């Protein structure tokens, strides 16, 4: 009987204690930047560009269209990281590199091939568009939303970024990808 009571106490402690612990640690140590008021401003200060996605050569590491699946540290999660999918493209029209970044989504690994040789509309923040340090192969202009002209479909599915996903991508980027100094330089100090 005593072992049963101890077992129940441990089970209740694990079911309640671990989530409470993760909540406290996340709110104390992994807040990221305070972006609640900045995300709508960032999205509003964006513009769209129509670009032709170059042909993809998967055997060429210097291809003008590349794909990378990586992760980023945001909060304590089941695996401690979130997924970040990056598709880097070069626009001969604008002579700039762009990088489509999708946080915590699960696009097909064939997306670069689906986009290859198609026109897409990229939504880019005006501040990042005009930043002379962005647009190179090493430091591309970040893109969090794209849509096709016509819409990008393959195998019955649509492969475009929804408005909700766009907001999530911007939120994750501003919260966890920009350092605190970069964030404050661009947007000023935000109240917590």
Q: What is the pLDDT of residues 119-145, one digit of tens each?
A: 999 999 999 999 999 999 899 999 999
Terminal-residue alpha carbon distance, the chain = 49
Report the distance separating Cα 21 and Cα 60, nearest Å.
46
> How confident is residue 76, by pLDDT bands cut at 50, 70 and 90?
very low
pLDDT in tens, 167-186: 999 998 888 888 888 888 88
Q: What is the Cα–Cα distance from 94 to 21, expressed in whole angstroms?
A: 49
Residue 78, pLDDT above cutoff 60:
no
Share of the chain residues as helix, strand and coil, in percent rounded to the nearest 5: 35, 25, 40
Contact 3, 144 (CB under 8 A): no
Tell me the pTM: 0.75
150 prior amide bond cis, ω within 30: yes
Which residue in 169, 167, 154, 80 sits closest to 112, CA to CA?
Answer: 154
| pLDDT mean across residues, the chain | 79
Distance (Å, rounded) from C-alpha 159 to C-alpha 150? 12
List pLDDT tens digits, range 85-106.
888 888 888 999 999 888 877 6
For residue 36, pLDDT beyond 70: yes
């Amino acid at each position: 009987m005593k072992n049963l009571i101890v077992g129940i106490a441990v089970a209740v402690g694990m079911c309640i204690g671990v989530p409470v612990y993760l909540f406290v640690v996340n709110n104390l140590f992994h807040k990221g930047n305070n972006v609640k008021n900045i995300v709508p401003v960032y999205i509003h200060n964006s513009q769209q560009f129509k670009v032709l996605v170059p042909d993809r050569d998967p055997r060429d590491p210097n291809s003008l269209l590349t794909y990378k699946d990586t992760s980023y540290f945001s909060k304590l999660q089941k695996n401690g990281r979130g997924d970040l999918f990056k598709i880097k493209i070069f626009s001969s029209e604008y002579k700039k590199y762009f990088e489509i970044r999708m946080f915590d989504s699960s696009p097909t690994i064939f997306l670069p091939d689906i986009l290859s040789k198609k026109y897409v509309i990229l939504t880019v923040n005006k501040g990042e568009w005009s930043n002379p340090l962005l647009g190179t192969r090493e430091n591309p202009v970040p893109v969090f939303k794209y849509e096709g002209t016509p819409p990008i479909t393959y195998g019955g599915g649509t492969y475009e970024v929804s408005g909700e996903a766009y907001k999530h991508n911007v939120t994750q980027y501003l919260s966890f990808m920009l350092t605190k100094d970069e964030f404050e330089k661009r947007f000023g100090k935000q109240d917590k």
